[in-house]
Structure 1
Amino acid sequence: MGRIGSARGFSFWLWALLLAVAGSGLAPCGVVKRAEAQVLGLGESAASPTPAADPYGRDTPRSTVTRLLRALADRDYVTAGQIFALPAERQDEAADLARALQAALDAGGTLRPYAELSNDPAGATGDGLPADQEQVGTFGGAEALPILLQRTTAEDGSAFWQIAPATLDALESIDIAVPPAAADATERGPTIAGAPVADWLRLAGVLVLLFAGFWLLSRLLLFAGRRLGNAESPAYHLLNAALPPLALVLALVTFRIHGGDAEVSIIARQTMLRYLGILNLLALLWFALRLVNGITNWLSNRMQRAERRQAASVIVFARRVIKILLLLFAAIGVLDTLGFNVTTGLAALGLGGLVLALGAQKSVENLVGTLSVLADRPVQVGDFCRVGDVSGTVEDIGIRSTRIRTTERTVISIPNGDFSSRHIENFSQRDRFLFQMIFGVDYEAEPAQLAEAAATIAAVLHDHPQVGRDPCRAVVKGHGPDAYEIEALAYIETTDFGESLAVRQELLLSIYRKLAEAGIPLASATRAAFYRRDPAAGAPRA
């Protein structure tokens, strides 16, 4: 009993860990919230007019910080100085202030990741700051002095963002070693993208160590799960599928939380944080896809064991829809991180909505057909059916089409829009099988033999335990082209096709045997021709 309790407690804490990390992993990247706002057209940028383009790329807080980092990476302190809100008499100090800001950031200062910076010319709202200010980072170590951007309006009416005077005053108040203007980054070794190679290697090494540590921890948890519980249980298989991507998610989240203020080049840190956001998104996608696969496979197997095949088809359909939605949100997040204006793209889709609707008419028709098939349930996966002139076993009911395996072992795909409108005959839903035969008795038989033959056939049907009683008859139908015809009609009480064939064979063999014992001649497959002589023609005539 203690062993079972330990296993249940272990599973509970692992599930709690999965849910907590999934939530915390989504929060830093902020993709879902931004994607939802963009899809619905409720994003801040959609509500604000686009101002005139700024020659220094200071139109939004995001573009301002991006332009600042690019200038610092290129050691272009003159351009970087244009991002400082300085009066005209202090413009000659701009380059020195840019060097000081870079030194403060390299010494442990932070900037918000690219994905968290507002891409709205009006800035973010609801942050507790004045409408014309935006906090984009901190510096100064434990003091955590804010780096503020200030929205400035020029005489021509154009607006742009600059580092606020309050931040410049705080920058001048701290004691920090600023390298001389003549110093070059190569004094710290070779550089990549404006940052020393040593800094890149340091950050990459920390990330690799974090992933290795969490991966080893996941292996230990699985080992403990095997010792405490059942390695063949659905929960264990689900955790085994989810823990590898979860280890990567945890490593990325930990790196993001603790690596943002490391004393390495701000260029290396921000670049890694920006593009690790894509990796974090892909890791979450990997985690979500494997989790969806694990849960739906488990549910589908349960439905199959319970012979609820239609429910299994719905689960497969839901899994495909969820995967498509996950891929869609991931694509929006990746494009947003790479700097593409997703809102503009979605607006373009709105303008071309009519063209898209016309082009996707068949796809929408097939999707509606899929929903109709799943809701109306004319067939289920595994059913043998006839659709038009196609007969076979339903293998899959997909989003676009239904696949049928024919008796010749070929696979035919029928679009669901067409499938749902066709005449569908489902053989698997039969509650019993029809036994209907015509027995031919030779024309040489006497009427008494015909009556005896009908009674014999009816007795065989009545005596079999798997033949229903209503209807159950054998009657002389009349005469055919070659023989007297006796019609036998009954139902075989089984839903299994193979069993019905066996019962059918038993009935036929028993009927043939009893008719032979009674000396009742059955008609042969040959045809007899009788000739008579025509007296007028003097020649035989058929």
Structure 2
Amino acid sequence: MFAHVMKSVLKIFLITSLLSAEFSSAYAQGIFSSGKSTTSDADKQEIENSESPRFMMRRFVEILNNENVEEAFNYVEFPKGLNLDAKRKLVEELMEVLNKRGNIDLALISNNPSGSLSDDVKPEMEKIGTILTTPNSFPIMLRFSTEKTRKGWRFSSEFMERIPDVAETLHLSSFENKLPPQLVGHKLFGIKIWQWIGLAIAIAISVLASMLLSWVLFHIMKRLVSRLQLVVPDEIFMSFITPLRLFTGLFVFGFAILFLDTDLGFRQKLGYFESVTLTLTFSIFALRLTAAAIELSRLSYERQGKTNSTAMLGPIRKGLSVLIVVLCAISLMRNLGFDVTAIIAGLGIGGVAIALAGQKTIENLFGGISILMDQPVRVGDFGRFGTTMGTVEDIGLRSTRVRTLDRTVVSIPNAEFSHMTLENFEKRDKFRWLSQLGIRMDASTDQMRLLLMQIKELMLSHPMIYKDPARVRFVSFGASSLNIEIFAYVKASNHNEYIAVVEDMNLRILDIIRNAGTDLAYPAQTLFLERGAGISKEKVADVEKRISQIKEQDGFPQPFYPSSWAEDKYDTLEFPENNPSI
């Protein structure tokens, strides 16, 4: 069961990973539009927090898209001593650096007017992203201005002082300087022609790399499974090809885009597309992994002969698949800008309502799961279940069906069945034999000793009787009998074999009783005149002679039957008997 527990833990880990797999959070409606605004709840929240760093950067992205240098002046804290032309040039360089090397995630920027209080910068400062340069990158810093005319968040003067050096480096190392003017000077949908060509090449490289890397990962997985000596069908490996290709393709594509110097707005849109695609890829991977785990569990149960346990694998797979799809849908809706908090709250209320309405059904479902996992009984087992005795015919999602000794079928809800006292006769390793003999009251003491000794000898010599405890004792005086109790365990694998052994022992004991010159007692008090032969005097005399011989030799072995007397009698009889006496 350890392997199955580990698989379950792996599924839970994957689902938890999916919850955190919203790699690029939602970009609100209108972020990349041409100045158009909406009246959604999200926008109302932004208007309420208009002094927050996120609101400031959201508006600056629109300025970047529109290439509005004059309006960008309001969001910059200039170093001292710059004239108007120097300021304009610095703003243009800022826009160029942000477009080409800016790494900013709007969703991660604080929406608090005071900024994030958990970073390691001064209270009036805020880090909102990174400028990716070689050899060292540096943070994009904002400062909150308290000037009455220009109150709000702006790019800090310290950050702006580093922009000219980065811009000069970009000009010297820019790939555009080596391209024909026709590819650099013309744009299509705001993207330069050479960048469109680069996008096509990046897509082609991503497709080829995804095929190569997925093939390598596929064979690494197969070799790892082979080294661990696990039996995994090839169909399961093949099911992971598609998500592996998508993962590797997205990774290579994201890396290749860094060399195209596309503007910040386009990268934000591309990041939004990648986050949606990556969420779908994670969902496909999670569904394939769930199906693979369920299939491996099914094969493992079948190899162990636990075919009944496979009944619950189908519902478990469906439940996990529904959970994965729901989490994927919530993630996608968040990426599309919806407020998922209300959706999650609605799902929670709906789940509570469904749970209350289907309480008994859910209780029976989990009762069935506990029966199949714990396996106190299996299909085909005979036993006593509460007050019902019979054979288990089926363990379903809602109830367990039992075929009784009267050949009727009793259907017991799983919730009730799992709380019953279940006595499974199929799992006993041996059968108990407890019997009581009533010997005639006129039997002599010597006859009783001989009976006890010979029955003990019979039990020790019979190959189907366990030697410990093989007990025969004169236990009580009945109203009309001398009572001998026989207790032993029978070596039998089923009830029919047990009955056959008990029948053989009873016949042999009956012969012993008759040969001892006595008989079983009648369970009544009867006054009669005996005119027939009665008890055989010859047998009585023979018994008395045998008793005298035993007394003269070693004496009777009662009451403890020493091992020196018992050992030479072990398993000396034939069973079944070839020529039983009639």
Q: Which amino acid aligns with 1:195?
A: I
What one-letter code is carried by the residue in structure 2 that aligns with 1:110?
Answer: G
Matched residue, 1:491: none
- Are the counterparts in 2 of residues 30 and 115 from structure 1 also a CA contact under 8 Å? no
- For 2:306 and 2:342, the matched residues in 1 are separated by 46
Distance 1:154 1:341 in 2: 35
Q: Which residue of 2 aligns with 1:147?
A: 140
1:38-49 equivalence runs, <5 A: none
Residue 31 of structure 1: aligned partner: 22
Change in 2 beyond 3 A, CA 1:226/1:424? closer
Q: Does structure 2 conserve the Cα–Cα contact (< 8 Å) formed by 1:54 and 1:160?
A: no
What is the aligned partner in structure 2 of residue 461 from structure 1?
Answer: none
Bigger drift between 240-249 and 324-333 goes to 324-333
- Matched residue, 1:103: 96
The answer as to 2:212 corresponding to 1:216 is: yes
Give the root-mean-square deviation of aligned CA atoms. Answer: 5.6
Distance in structure 1 (CA, Å) of the matches to 2:233 and 2:301 = 17
Contact 2:355 2:362 in 1 (8 A): no
Q: For 1:390-539, list aligned pairs within 5 A.
A: 397=397, 420=415
Q: Which amino acid aligns with 1:170?
A: R
- Residue deviations 1:389-439, cap 9 Å, x none? xxx986974xxx7899xxxxxxxxx9x9x87579999xxx997xxxxxxxx
Q: Could you tell me which residue of structure 2 aligns to residue 84 of structure 1?
A: 76
Deviation at 1:56, TM superposition (A): 11
Contact 1:332–1:342 (8 Å) recurs in 2: yes
Deviation at 1:371, TM superposition (A): 1.4
For residues 316 and 53 of structure 1, the distance between their equivalents in structure 2, rounded to whole angstroms, comes to: 45
1:71 counterpart letter in structure 2: I
SS at match of 2:75: coil
* 1:255 partnered with 2:247: no
Residues 374-383 or 119-128, more deviating = 374-383
Match of 2:321 among 311, 317, 323: 323
Contact persistence 2:368–2:415 (CA under 8 A):
yes
Give the corresponding residue for 2:552.
none
Specify the SS of the correspondent of 1:280: helix
The 8 Å contact of residues 79 and 158 in structure 2, kept in 1 or not, is answered as no
Q: Which residue of 2 aligns with 1:283?
A: 281
1:369 to 364, 367, 378: 364
> Does the CA-based 8 Å contact 1:115-1:337 persist in structure 2?
no
SS, match of residue 325 in structure 2: helix
What is the rounded CA distance, in whole Å, between the counterparts of 2:248 and 2:95 in structure 1? 30
Identity of aligned residues (%): 16
Alignment of 1:340 with 2:338, yes or no, is yes
Give the partner amino acid of 2:93: A
Specify whether residues 223 and 135 from structure 1 end up closer, same or farther in structure 2 by C-alpha distance, changes over 3 A only.
closer
Q: Measure the CA separation in 1 of the matches of 2:56 and 2:21.
A: 20
AA aligned to 1:276 is E
Correspondence 1:129 to 2:127: no
The residue number in structure 2 matching 1:188 is 186
For residue 164 of structure 1, what is the aligned residue in structure 2?
Answer: 156
Question: In the TM superposition, what are the counterparts of 1:291-306 in structure 2 within 5 Å?
Answer: 291-306=289-304
Kindly state the Cα deviation for residue 297 of structure 1 after the two structures are TM-superposed.
0.8
Q: Which deviations, in whole Å up to 9, do the C-alpha atoms of 1:181-236 show, x marking residues without a partner?
A: xxxx9942222xx4336535523541442232221343366579889979x95164
Q: In 1, are the aligned partners of 2:18 and 2:282 still within 8 Å (CA)?
A: no
Q: Work out whether residues 308 and 379 of structure 2, in 8 Å CA contact, stay in contact via their aligned partners in 1.
A: no
CA 1:394–1:146: 2 relative to 1, 3 Å:
same
Q: State the Cα distance separating 1:244 from its structure 2 match.
A: 2.7
- What is the CA distance between 1:311 and its match in structure 2? 3.5
In structure 1, what is the Cα distance between the partners aligned to 2:351 and 2:304?
42
Aligned length: 371
Instruction: Specify the alignment match of 2:5 in structure 1.
Output: none
Contact 1:58 1:83 in 2 (8 A): no
State whether structure 2 residue 191 is matched by structure 1 residue 199. no
When structure 1 is superposed on structure 2, of 294-303 and 318-327 the one drifting more is 318-327
Deviation string, structure 1 residues 87-141 (Cα, Å, up to 9, x no partner): 99989987655432221234x4131345554555554455433344123121555
Per the alignment, residue 241 of structure 2 pairs with 243
Distance 2:64 2:247 in 1: 30
> What is the one-letter code of the residue matched to 1:166?
E
TM-score, structure 1 normalization: 0.52
2:338 is paired with a residue whose SS is coil
Q: How far is the alpha carbon of 1:245 from its aligned partner? A: 0.8
Q: What SS does structure 1 have at the residue aligned with 2:131?
A: strand
Checking the alignment, whether the CA contact within 8 Å between 1:238 and 1:295 is kept in structure 2 is: no
For 2:129, the aligned partner's letter is V
8 Å contact kept, 1:62–1:119? yes
Q: 1:291 to 1:51 in 2, by over 3 A?
A: closer
Which letter does structure 1 place at the counterpart of 2:92? R
Q: Which runs of 5+ in 2 are unaligned?
A: 1-9, 27-41, 177-182, 382-391, 402-410, 427-495, 504-582
C-alpha distance in structure 1 between counterparts of 2:221 and 2:152, whole Å: 57
Letter in 2 for 1:67: R
Could you say if the C-alpha distance between residues 244 and 394 of structure 1 is closer, same or farther in structure 2, counting changes exceeding 3 Å? farther
Structure ID, larger Rg: 2
Q: Secondary structure at the match of 1:290?
A: helix
- Output the amino acid matched with 1:210: S
The aligned residue for residue 533 of structure 1 is none
Distance (whole Å) between structure 2 residues aligned to residue 74 and residue 100 of structure 1: 15
Secondary structure of the corresponding residue to residue 209 of structure 1: helix
Residue in structure 1 matched with residue 453 of structure 2 by the alignment: none
Residues 307 and 116 (structure 1 numbering): CA distance in 2 closer, same or farther, change over 3 Å? farther
Aligned to 2:104: 112
Q: Counterpart amino acid of 2:61?
A: L
Letter in 2 for 1:308: K
- Tell me the secondary structure at the aligned position of residue 365 of structure 2: helix
Segments of 5+ residues of structure 1 without an aligned counterpart are 1-18, 36-49, 180-184, 386-391, 405-413, 432-464, 473-542
Q: 1:66 to 1:376 in 2, by over 3 A?
A: same
**1:31 match: secondary structure:** coil
Distance 1:28 1:394, change over 3 A: closer
SS at match of 1:234: coil
Structure 1 residues 76 and 359: CA distance shift in structure 2, 3 A: farther
Structure 1 residues 122, 205: CA separation in 2 closer, same or farther (over 3 Å shift)?
farther
